[in-house]
Homo-oligomer: A and B are copies of this chain.
Amino acid sequence: MPVFTVSNRLCVIMVGLPARGKSFISQKIVRYLSWLSVPSKCFNVGHYRRLMGTVHPKAAFFDPDNEEGLKLREMAAERALEDMLEWFTAEEGIVAILDATNTTRARREWVARKLRANSIEPMFLESWCDDQDLILRNVVELKSTSPDYEGVESEVAIHDFLARIKKYEKIYQPLDESHDKELTFVRLINVSQQVIINRIESYLESRIVFYIMNLHIKPRYIWLSRHGESIYNVEKKIGGDSHLSPRGLQYARKLPEIVKQSAGDANLTTWISTLVRTGETAQFLPYKQLQWKALDELDAGVCDGMTYYEIQEKYPEDFKARDDDKFEYRYRGGESYRDVIVRLEPVIMELERQENILIITHQAVLRCIYAYFMNVPQEESPWVSIPLHTLIKLEPRAYGTRATRIKADIPAVSTYKERGSSQLKDPQ
């Protein structure tokens, strides 16, 4: 991954009518980039409008002929931009998302001018949709998640929301391939059935485009599991390529039943690493199987095969350095959590493209995958607890992912090493 500096600063300006998935896309981009350590933040203009007091506006508020409404909405956009500019400076931000409708050319020109004056590259991202079923599904979802409709009766909210969309339609000027040909933009037509890309040049722009092209919104689940308890786990050693312990094998035998209870007859694919303990854990599952080298455990370099006690004895400074910054600490001749994330990126991209997937892999790798879906801050991700013999079910939804943990009820050692803790020679 290149290192990004002030010269790479970018603002993704969302464009589109209400209920076109703009906030969903914004959140996903922020999630993806933050996970890759690119400082990113979303600025939602509706949020600023509510801060200014317009909490439960009726559709009429959004009428282009409503001067007071217009003025308030302009002020909200101004405040969002001000905060954004401050964030770029104060927090050394790299990618901001301006989550608003930005439906008129005049508004878009105003935003782009402000950004360019501050040496921030504007990139427009329009979500255009005429699939009425999809729009209605979004409206139904939004009326229950948007603070604008908190406490409002369902039917009333939906009716008002549809009326609000009509107000915007009156003045909506979509991005146009000829008129806007000098701008950097992406147009998504009906999710990503058709995508139009104009003047995408920088690395970050191209990464964002490829990422959103791979998103889909079909309902699906992702199941995560560590391999069953291994011989090395029992011996308190890290790394290696050992076989399952008898209890680990018991977990492997029980796994098909646990997965079936959670997944029913869903058609799923199992992904495993190239290490024997994941293959042994997956051996009784009836699903199609794919092996990824990128799912191998974090490489502990010279410490591979050692216990934490031995590491502490032999490399006391490293042991401490790892506790101080576990995300950045790279084992001598091995990897850091940051390194694991870089090699996991194609796995995440493919996960976004796929439907039901069951991943059987290793503690550090699962922490990184879990952090991506559950929005765990970078510095916390190496400390997430992912116990052995536990199946985690992830359900990606419009606003975040829901996680459920299913315990197999088969005992296993704990491999969790608390921050600042040391290990006794004989853990008994």
Give A296 Cβ to nearest chain B Cβ, in Å. 10
Q: In the complex, are the beta carbons of B353 and A203 less than 8 A apart?
A: yes
Give A276 Cβ to nearest chain B Cβ, in Å. 11
Q: In the complex, are the beta carbons of A339 and B293 less than 8 A apart?
A: yes
A304 contacts which chain B residues (CB < 8 A)? 333
Looking at chain A's contact residues, the main secondary structure is: mixed
Q: CB < 8 Å: which of B197, B214, B240, B241 contacts A213?
A: B197
Contact A193:B198 (CB < 8 A) given known A3-B290, A241-B333, A342-B294:
yes
Q: Encode A280-304 as 1/0 by CB contact (under 8 A) with B.
A: 0000000000100110000100001
Copies in the complex: 2
Tally of A interface residues using CB under 8 Å = 38
Task: Please give me the residue from chain B that is nearest to A241 by CB atom.
Answer: B333
Contact A199:B194 (CB < 8 A) given known A2-B350, A290-B3, A293-B339:
yes
A350 contacts which chain B residues (CB < 8 A)? 2, 203
A210 interfacial by beta-carbon distance below 8 Å:
yes
Q: In the complex, are the beta carbons of A196 and B199 less than 8 A apart?
A: no
Task: Please give me the residue from chain B that is nearest to A292 by CB atom.
Answer: B1
A181 contacts which chain B residues (CB < 8 A)? 194
A241 contacts which chain B residues (CB < 8 A)? 332-333
**Which 9 A-B pairs give the minimum distances between C-beta atoms?**
A195-B197, A194-B198, A210-B210, A196-B196, A293-B339, A193-B199, A241-B333, A2-B290, A343-B343
New A-B pairs, 10, CB < 8 Å, besides A181-B194, A197-B213, A345-B346? A2-B350, A192-B197, A194-B198, A195-B195, A200-B213, A203-B350, A206-B353, A240-B333, A304-B333, A343-B343
